[in-house]
A and B are shown apart, each in its own frame.
Chain A
Amino acid sequence: MGRSRALRARIMITFENVSKIYKGGVEALHNASATIEKGEFVFLVGPSGSGKSTMLSLINREVTADRGRIFVAGKDIARLSSWRVPYLRRNIGCIFQDYKLLANKTVYENVAFALEVIGRPRHVVKTQVPAILELVGLETKAGNFPHQLSGGEQQRVSVARAFVNRPLILLADEPTGNLDPATSVGIMRLLDRINRTGTTVVMATHDRSIVDTMQRRVIELDEGMLVRDQLRGVYQ
């Protein structure tokens, strides 16, 4: 009502009084509200089980909210019919602590897979995959299998796969959780670079030093409650 059209057009993700209760009665998220604008870089912090991963899963509709509403790119995602959910997910890239790479596919094939399974034509795959591998600095490892790569390199492949389709949003769930500090810095530089292309990045993390160094917006969760939302925040 009070929001101007221009402001609404800048908003990428909206949580309106969202609650999520898992089977067994555990309330993973309680009455959370937040607005994330296009091109923002947001850290979700908080102890394990505080609801960070649940927030990420709600955004790409791996789980659905029990109360409240979630808008992604202007759409109320609870009202999407199930056959449209894949199209929502094409706008959202995801990376994880455990990379989720396919062990029997090469670096190139892992990235190409993401384009092939959404029906992108061959010539698109042939141009996009080398370009994205260059962006993440793995152009020389295209023929390697994941087990031949270091953890940092594997995470770069995962970033390449998440970003190759140029999504509007990149969700990162503890992407540096298995990496040493120096390697983590490299991954963060990559995410920062992706963010500068206009992609909204939402990253759940426990990594204090990363949050403190990056000086970006911080949303803190505790036992499912949103307890802090601070621009240019620190881990605390």
Chain B
Amino acid sequence: MKFDYILRETAINLRRNITLTLAAIVTVGVSLALFGSTLLLRQGVENQSARWQDGVQVLVFLQRNVTDEQRSALEKSIEDNPEVDSFKYVDVKESNQEARRLFRGNAAMLQRLEADPEMVPPSYRLVPRTTETGTVESLRRQYEGQPGVQAATGETEGVKTVRGVSHFGQLGMLVAAVILLVAALMLILNAIRMATFARRREIEVMKLVGATNWFIRVPFMLEGIIQGLVGGLLAFAAVWGLDRWMQSAAQNPNYDDILGGFVASTGEFIWTSGVVVALGIGIGAAGSGWALSRFLKV
């Protein structure tokens, strides 16, 4: 009986304010989608920059079937190269571990790394004397196509720009997400306020005949929580789509994406979407709770 009543009243409230309800849901959805995307992208960017640390500017990936002679010749030429300040050799085992760390949570990728431990080739990581693009590019070209080398990539202006922009972009997205979240809170607050106003006579009668405060409040609380939850689910769908898109890089049978940098997400998708949906519910509860404490004196 009580359960029936609460569901019925909540449905009536939601329908009565349909435009406001939709506005609140969409705002929650957009803000949380931005927030969730930022979280996912940040993981992707972190992965991408994982190899470009400690001044490393050029990566020289070796072929699987590189011979010891080829490798020592290559190492000698790197040692003797005046443009190289220092270098580090990362063997197959270490590369595999690195990839596993970066792709923790991405089941598909981990499976492939498991099946083929040598999937990620060994590499030399070079720190050039200067960070000028010309030096980086000339180093890259020197080793590209050498015997035993599968590919050489440099941290080009493009990569640097992506990193810079993505930091700036993340900040912008976070700020936008926070502003939209506040707007969503206000919209829910207003929706609940309208609902209590529309039902003021019923509320008056309920107080008169001795309905408990919680009994009066619950349908309104639930209205706010449903708005937040549906918004959160919309955001979940958006985050899911983004995750699919980012992971598709890891599904690609040729390894270019892995060699070029880990753009793909680490698959911490469940965590991110959990945060997004929980935030939606939290916003709904906070908005309606605030509205009730201000507009429903019981």
Contacting pair B211 A86 (CB below 8 A): yes
Contacting pair B209 A119 (CB below 8 A): no
In the complex, what residues of A have CB within 8 A of residue B207's CB? Answer: 86, 89
Contacting pair A116 B210 (CB below 8 A): no
Known: A116-B1, A119-B215, A162-B209. 19 other contacts (CB 8 A): A82-B213, A88-B210, A89-B207, A89-B208, A89-B210, A90-B210, A100-B204, A100-B205, A102-B205, A114-B209, A116-B5, A117-B5, A117-B206, A117-B211, A117-B215, A118-B209, A118-B215, A120-B1, A161-B205
The reply to whether the CB of A70 lies closer than 8 angstroms to some CB of chain B is: no
The reply to whether the CB of B202 lies closer than 8 angstroms to some CB of chain A is: yes
CA A93 – CA B5 in complex, angstroms? 22
CA A98 – CA B213 in complex, angstroms? 24
Contacting pair A122 B205 (CB below 8 A): no
Q: Using CB atoms and an 8 Å cutoff, list the residues of chain B in contact with chain A.
A: 1-2, 5, 201-202, 204-213, 215-216, 298
The reply to whether the CB of A165 lies closer than 8 angstroms to some CB of chain B is: yes
Contacting pair B210 A87 (CB below 8 A): yes
Contacting pair B1 A119 (CB below 8 A): yes
CA A82 – CA B216 in complex, angstroms? 14
In the complex, what residues of A have CB within 8 A of residue B213's CB? Answer: 82-83, 86
Minimum C-beta distance from B169 to chain A (A): 50
- Could you show 26 A-B contacts with beta carbons less than 8 Å apart? A82-B298, A83-B212, A86-B207, A86-B210, A86-B212, A87-B210, A89-B207, A89-B209, A90-B209, A90-B210, A102-B202, A102-B205, A113-B202, A113-B209, A114-B209, A117-B211, A117-B215, A117-B216, A118-B210, A118-B212, A118-B215, A119-B2, A119-B215, A120-B1, A122-B1, A161-B209
Residue from B5, B201, B209 whose CB has the most chain A CB atoms within 10 Å: B209
Residues of A contacting B: mostly = mixed
In the complex, what residues of B have CB within 8 A of residue A86's CB? Answer: 207, 210-213
Residues of B contacting A: mostly = helix
Contacting pair A165 B209 (CB below 8 A): yes
In the complex, what residues of A have CB within 8 A of residue B210's CB? Answer: 86-92, 118, 165
Using a CB-CB cutoff of 8 Å, which residues 92-125 of chain A contact chain B? 92-94, 100, 102-103, 113-114, 116-122
In the complex, what residues of B have CB within 8 A of residue A113's CB? Answer: 202, 205, 209
In the complex, what residues of B have CB within 8 A of residue A114's CB? Answer: 205, 209
A110 nearest in chain B by CB position: B205
In the complex, what residues of B have CB within 8 A of residue A60's CB? Answer: 208
Contact of A121 among B1, B204, B205 (CB under 8 A): B1
Minimum C-beta distance from B2 to chain A (A): 6
Contacting pair B2 A94 (CB below 8 A): no
Minimum C-beta distance from B126 to chain A (A): 72
Using a CB-CB cutoff of 8 Å, which residues 103-162 of chain A contact chain B? 103, 113-114, 116-122, 161-162
Residue from B204, B208, B213, B298 whose CB has the most chain A CB atoms within 10 Å: B208
CA A119 – CA B226 in complex, angstroms? 23
Minimum C-beta distance from B197 to chain A (A): 15
In the complex, what residues of A have CB within 8 A of residue B205's CB? Answer: 100, 102, 113-114, 161
A121 nearest in chain B by CB position: B1
In the complex, what residues of A have CB within 8 A of residue B201's CB? Answer: 100, 102-103
Residue from B5, B211, B216 whose CB has the most chain A CB atoms within 10 Å: B211
In the complex, what residues of B have CB within 8 A of residue A82's CB? Answer: 213, 298
Contacting pair B5 A100 (CB below 8 A): no
A120 nearest in chain B by CB position: B1
CA A86 – CA B201 in complex, angstroms? 17
CA A94 – CA B1 in complex, angstroms? 25
CA A83 – CA B211 in complex, angstroms? 10
Contact of B211 among A94, A103, A118 (CB under 8 A): A118
CA A60 – CA B207 in complex, angstroms? 10
In the complex, what residues of A have CB within 8 A of residue B215's CB? Answer: 117-119
Minimum C-beta distance from A109 to chain B (A): 11
In the complex, what residues of B have CB within 8 A of residue A116's CB? Answer: 1, 5
A125 nearest in chain B by CB position: B1
CA A88 – CA B212 in complex, angstroms? 11
Minimum C-beta distance from A37 to chain B (A): 23
In the complex, what residues of B have CB within 8 A of residue A121's CB? Answer: 1
Minimum C-beta distance from B211 to chain A (A): 4
Contacting pair A117 B1 (CB below 8 A): no
CA A120 – CA B215 in complex, angstroms? 13
In the complex, what residues of B have CB within 8 A of residue A122's CB? Answer: 1
Minimum C-beta distance from A100 to chain B (A): 6
